[in-house]
Amino acid sequence: MIKRSLLALTSLFALAPAQAIDWHVGVGAFDALEDRSLFEPRDGARGETGVTAVAGLQFGRGFGIEAAWADLGELERSNIADAGYLTEGDLWSLGLTWTTQSGTLRPYVKAGLFQREEDGSVLTIAGPRRVTDDDSGWMAEAGARWHLSDLFAVRAGYAHYDFDRGSDGSVQVVAELHFQ
């Protein structure tokens, strides 16, 4: 569902008049989402810092839409009595956004849906076993965007995801290019 929505967003990019919207693309990093565990939240798994890419557009009055992809990195639970796991995952999100339209420092919010896919292996007494995990749900983000110029902005915020086995969030920083 999220990937089809991203395709629809790309179509909007192609059809929308350039002078009526503010386009942005960006790349950034975020804290590990360690509670996306295969088993139970807070099971002691260690995650890596993730990377993200975003693309969005803002219509009049500060409202917009944004798609994001995140490489969640590895999530590892050490072997304890012949048990443990190692997975890697991707997360896609699509959300509605709002931000103020003037000033150098502009607050923003985003609310939408995410789709997460995780692949890896679990160590069992019988040996390693391949696992996959898919998850989808609600996400929200809030923070501030610092416009250093009309073209370049840096945003910092907190993104929260409602995973099936609990929820998790992280601080993220994204460098953005804006086009009008």
The dihedrals phi and psi of 4, each to the nearest 5 degrees, come to -65, -40
DSSP 101: S
Which pLDDT does position 3 carry in this prediction? 58
Calculate mean pLDDT across residues 134-142.
94
CA distances, 3 to each of 37, 67, 114, 160 (Å): 23, 10, 10, 20
- Residue 53: strand pairing partners: 27, 69
pLDDT digits (tens, 9 = 90+) for 19-77: 468 899 999 999 888 777 666 656 677 788 899 999 999 987 889 999 999 999 888 88
Alpha-carbon span 162 to 94, nearest angstrom: 14
Which pLDDT does position 42 carry in this prediction? 61
Cα atoms found within 13 Å of the Cα of residue 2, Cβ hemisphere only: 22
Q: Is the pLDDT of residue 140 over 70?
A: yes
Which pLDDT does position 9 carry in this prediction? 55
Type of residue numbered 70: A
Tell me the percentage of the chain whose pLDDT exceeds 70: 82
Q: Enter the tokens of residue 154.
A: 């840096």
Tell me the percentage of the chain whose pLDDT exceeds 90: 48
This prediction has a pTM of 0.81
pLDDT digits (tens, 9 = 90+) for 160-179: 999 887 778 899 999 999 99
